[in-house]
């Protein structure tokens, strides 16, 4: 595994929220560095383990892949709040990243007393039971570092792959449902996940590059205070992109993600993946989720429209969060994309029947 920063289990959540590079946060792996409670978590994990070990059949996770600012948190929430799936909550990411089954068992035990918030802000949800990107858990499985497409595209080791398998199987044993994973870094891990889990299914969430790149630029400013700071996973050619103007970086980053995802998915059986446009999702969430879940074999889809409205209302940005320069930058992005339609075709939604978009 690559060099990482060891931190105490108690510090994982706070360190990741405050760090400029939260993906570098990783739970302690040396026994002598662990706090005493980690032994308790390990013991609990051993007790819960048979839930995973005794299950037959291949786990069939649903993996959402996407470029930054594609609207993936909304899709994730629609799955979690409106369909029969399981997920990794914030509590697992913050407190039990090396023993995720412990956190999942706790949530299963709490049951209806574990409310899930509709709110989110730049991919981060609220409360211990909010759907998490589970970056700390994914670091245990895949490592981290940049460029992500190069250094974090495969499992750290066979043991790490086995740990992910155990988590997927255990989640199914605890909840009776398959796990949904949402993490932008998984967009560069499609091949590794597909090979390790032959029944894994992928949902490629896409968004108009003009809107996604504009949102990414704004997110850099609000979350980092620096237009040059990357927000998420990085493509193989990230150093070339860093030489561009920030708005241009965001546009090319969207293109790099789309090209990488498209190439990886094209090598899979077409029945293993489905493409969804964000613009369609917000236009008719019930119809899109119904069709999507039917394709994936997921049951229990309900309340999608109300979930979308609640999520939208909970994450509206106040006016002060939009700096004066944003309108001009957004116009520049639109003009740039319009001048090169063939280059950005993969990142632009095709007008749907009836003239939408």
β-strand partners of 263: none
The confidence score (pLDDT) of residue 144 equals 94
| Closest to 166 in 3D by CA, of 117, 217, 98 | 98
120, containing H or E segment:
strand 120-121
pLDDT in tens, 314-347: 666 555 568 889 999 999 999 999 999 999 999 9
Percent above pLDDT 70 for the chain = 79
Domain boundaries, the chain: 5-208+274-321
Once rounded to an integer, what is the mean pLDDT over residues 89-114?
A: 87
Neighbours of 54 (CB within 10 A): 9
The pLDDT assigned to 91 comes to 93
pLDDT at 198 over 70: yes
Residue with tokens 């629609």: 78
Q: pLDDT higher for 117 or 256?
A: 256
DSSP letter for each residue of 245-276: -HHHHHHHHHHHHHHHHHHHHHTS-GGGEEEE
Whole-number Å distance between alpha carbons of 311 and 44:
35
Residue 241 to residue 235: CA distance in whole angstroms: 9
Q: What is the pLDDT of residue 3?
A: 36
Is pLDDT of 39 > 70? Answer: yes
The single residue listed with the structure tokens 């946060």 is: 25
- The mean predicted confidence, pLDDT, of the chain is 83
CA distances from residue 59 to 14, 18, 123, 210 in whole angstroms, order as listed:
32, 34, 26, 36
User: For residue 204, which phi and psi values (nearest 5 degrees)?
Assistant: -95, 105
DSSP-derived letter for residue 6 is E
State the average pLDDT over residues 196-202.
Answer: 97
Question: Would you place residue 231 in the very low, low, confident or very high pLDDT band (cuts 50, 70, 90)?
Answer: confident
Quote the CA–CA distance of 327 and 304 in Å, as a whole number: 31
> Looking at the predicted structure, is the pLDDT value of residue 309 above 90?
no
Strand partners, 43: none
pTM, rounded to two decimals: 0.85
Segment 208-226 shows an average pLDDT of 94
What is the predicted pLDDT for the residue at 319?
53
Mean pLDDT lowest among 178-182, 246-250, 353-357: 353-357
Q: Are 223 and 235 in contact (CB under 8 A)?
A: no
Contact 287, 57 (CB under 8 A): no
Q: 116: closest CA among 131, 103, 105? A: 131
* Mean pLDDT computed over 36-58: 72
How many Å apart are CA 115 and CA 290, to the nearest integer?
23
Chain-centre distance for alpha carbon 355: 31
* The pLDDT of residue 5 is above 80: no
Residue 17, both tokens: 């929220």
Span 109-146, pLDDT tens digits:
876 666 777 777 777 888 889 999 999 999 999 999 99
Of 11-15, 221-225, 272-276, the range with the lowest mean pLDDT is 11-15
- pLDDT score, position 350: 79
Residue 164: predicted pLDDT: 97
The residue-averaged pLDDT of 93-105 equals: 93
User: If you average pLDDT over residues 260-282, what whole number do you get?
Assistant: 96
Are 102 and 44 contacting, i.e. CB atoms less than 8 angstroms apart?
Answer: yes
Average pLDDT over residues 297-315: 71
Torsion of CA 163, 168, 169, 174, to 10 degrees: 120
CATH topology of domain 5-208+274-321: Rossmann fold (3.40.50)
Provide the pLDDT confidence category of residue 313 given band limits of 50, 70 and 90.
Answer: low
């Amino acid at each position: 595994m690559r060099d990482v920063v060891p931190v105490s289990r108690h510090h994982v959540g706070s360190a990741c929220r405050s760090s400029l590079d939260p993906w570098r946060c990783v739970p302690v792996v040396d026994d002598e560095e662990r706090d005493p409670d980690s032994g308790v978590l390990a013991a609990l994990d051993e007790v819960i383990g048979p839930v995973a070990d005794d299950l037959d059949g291949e786990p069939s996770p649903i993996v959402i892949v996407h470029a930054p600012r594609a609207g993936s948190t909304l899709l994730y929430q629609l799955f979690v709040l409106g369909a029969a799936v399981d997920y990794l909550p914030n509590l697992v990411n913050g407190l039990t990243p090396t023993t995720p089954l412990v956190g999942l068992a706790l949530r299963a035990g709490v049951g209806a007393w574990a409310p899930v918030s509709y709110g989110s802000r730049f991919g981060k949800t609220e409360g211990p039971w909010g759907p998490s990107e589970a970056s700390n858990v994914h670091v245990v499985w895949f490592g981290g570092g940049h460029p992500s497409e190069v250094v974090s595209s495969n499992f750290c080791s066979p043991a790490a792959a086995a740990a992910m398998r155990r988590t997927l199987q255990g989640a199914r044993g605890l909840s009776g449902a398959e796990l949904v994973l949402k993490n932008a870094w998984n967009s560069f891990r499609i091949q590794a996940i597909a090979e390790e889990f032959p029944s894994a299914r992928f949902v490629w969430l896409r968004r108009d590059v003009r809107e996604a790149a504009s949102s990414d630029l704004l997110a850099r400013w609000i979350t980092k205070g620096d237009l040059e700071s990357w927000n998420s996973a990085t493509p193989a050619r990230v150093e070339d992109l860093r030489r561009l103007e920030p708005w241009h970086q965001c546009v090319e980053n969207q293109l790099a993600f789309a090209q990488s995802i498209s190439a990886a998915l094209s090598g899979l059986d077409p029945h293993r993946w489905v493409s969804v446009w964000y613009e369609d999702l917000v236009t008719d969430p019930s119809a899109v989720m119904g069709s999507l879940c039917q394709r994936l074999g997921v049951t229990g889809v309900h309340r999608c429209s109300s979930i979308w409205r609640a999520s939208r209302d909970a994450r509206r940005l106040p006016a002060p969060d939009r700096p004066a320069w944003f309108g001009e930058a957004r116009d520049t992005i639109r003009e740039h994309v319009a001048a090169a339609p063939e280059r950005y075709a993969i990142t632009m939604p095709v007008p749907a029947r009836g003239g939408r978009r």
